[in-house]
Amino acid sequence: MSEEKPSRSFVSAQQVAELAGVSRSAVSRTFTQGASVSDTMRRKVQQAAEELGYHVNHLARSLIQENSRIVCVIGAEINTPYQARMLEALVRGMQRIGRVAMVINSAGDRGSAEAALRQTLNYRAKATIVLSGAPPAALVRTCINSGQQVILINRDDHLDGPTNVVVDNDHAGREAFHMLQRAGCRKIAVVSSTAGTPSLVAREQAFEAAAREAGLGVRIVRPGPTSYASGFAAGEVLLSGSDRPDGAFCVTDLLACGFMDAARFEFGIDIPGELCVIGFDDIDQASWSSYALTTFRQPVEDMAGHITSLIGDPAADSAAGQRTCFHALPVWRRSVRPK
């Protein structure tokens, strides 16, 4: 019969105190920044802690002090290239300032997302960052009502309290139209999705408004969610008839990649000779030579750095309700004819 292994338990501060021959409070002071403790006692405690494998329970401390270092990040499409890149940059930033990111995927079952959010509130999460996409406004309100610092990225929830960090989608949408117009495109389409998020809608509307001011109509298709497959489906819809567009603005790069593959492999269309394509986000795939996609670069690192500074600054509560706008810069590649 095999011996049953004893369950492993965490080393307590009391065990460290007993090994070091000091009081429990001396252990606490040793691991509290700025607390008064002699060098001799500090060395004894640290040696005992290292021998036993002791780590300070910061979560327990934060629950007592109501000053958690947890930051909640809520997103609905965290598997897409842009969201994954933003999430990675935010987590890196949180680690740099000594915060712990707790990620909640709000896609799918709403009940499980709300239950996960309640857990972060139980742990006294200091702040919540809401990524662009489809996390429901009700989750945002829950965070605000709990007294958290709330930062929204590319959202338009019209709520009092949150700090908003946005990209100027209006300017980028208009610029995308003028880029296609300068390339000589006259039959222009917009490839969007059924997600209907504020960012995507803003790009659509700005592009369409610029085209209308120039006296051109725009055909908009939304065949499905914001995915490669939807972009491919849009290509099958737009390019199968005789009245094909000669220019297309895809509101994300992922849609653009699918659209370009449909154009080339299903219909043998030359890009950019017969069809110019512009995307948005500048994901890694956009620079691949198989796409060489002209697009707009969201300044992910700058946005994440700004958010990190807001969370790391004790006086950042004064920024609540403020709106910071970043510009998406055009990146010229080979999917649009030379200007």
User: The CATH number of the domain where 37 resides is what?
Assistant: 1.10.260.40
3 inside domain: no
In a domain, 337, yes or no: no
The highest-confidence range among 128-132, 255-259, 315-319, by mean pLDDT, is: 255-259
74, 103: one domain: yes
* CA terminus-to-terminus distance, the chain: 79
Judge whether 282 and 297 are in contact, CB under 8 Å.
yes
**Residue type at 90 in one-letter notation:** L
Whether residues 281 and 204 fall in one domain:
yes
* pLDDT, tens only, 57-115: 555 555 445 556 889 898 877 888 999 999 999 999 999 998 989 888 877 666 766 77
Pull the structure tokens for residue 170.
């209006």
Residues 90, 94: Cα–Cα separation, whole Å: 6
Distance (Å, whole) CA 203 – CA 190: 10
- Please name the residues in contact with 112: beta carbons below 8 A apart, sequence gap of 6 or more: none
> Is residue 183 domain-shared with residue 287, that is, in the same domain?
yes
pLDDT confidence of residue 200: 93
**Is 183 a domain residue?**
yes
Q: Is the pLDDT of residue 320 over 70?
A: no
Residue 308's pLDDT is: 95
Element (H, E) at 296: strand 295-297
Phi/psi of residue 75, nearest 5 degrees: -145, 155
Asked if 115 and 182 sit in the same domain, the reply is no
My answer on whether 304 and 157 are in the same domain is yes
For residue 222, is it within any domain? yes
Residue-wise pLDDT tens digits, 135-165:
677 777 777 877 788 899 988 767 777 899 9
pLDDT for 309 beyond 90: yes
Residue 63 in any domain: the answer is no
pLDDT digits (tens, 9 = 90+) for 2-34: 455 444 566 777 888 888 888 888 887 887 767
Q: Are residues 190 and 148 in the same domain?
A: no
φ/ψ of 251, rounded to 5, equals -70, -10
Do the domain assignments include residue 319? yes
Assess whether 209 and 263 both reside in one domain.
yes
Provide the domain count of the chain.
3
Which has more pLDDT, 35 or 258? 258
Q: Is the peptide bond before 299 cis (omega within 30 degrees of 0)?
A: no
Q: Strand, coil or helix: what is 129?
A: strand
Which range of residues forms the domain containing residue 181? 169-298
CATH code assigned at 252: 3.40.50.2300
Question: Same domain for 17 and 84?
Answer: no
225 located within any domain = yes
Is residue 47 located within the same domain as residue 143? no
Q: Check whether residue 149 and residue 175 sit in a common domain.
A: no
Contact residues for 1 (Cβ-Cβ < 8 A; gap 6+): none
R_g of the chain, CA atoms, integer Å: 26
Would 265 be classed as within a structural domain? yes
Same domain, residue pair 291 and 318: no
For position 119, what pLDDT does the model report?
A: 67
Between CA 130 and CA 69 the distance in angstroms is 17
- Claim to verify: residue 162 and residue 239 sit in the same structural domain: no
**With b meaning 16 or more CB within 10 Å and e meaning fewer, what string describes 246-285?**
bbbbbbbbbbbbbbbbbbeeeeebebbeebbbbbbbbbeb
The pLDDT value recorded for residue 78 is 84
In whole angstroms, give the CA distance from residue 119 to residue 122: 5
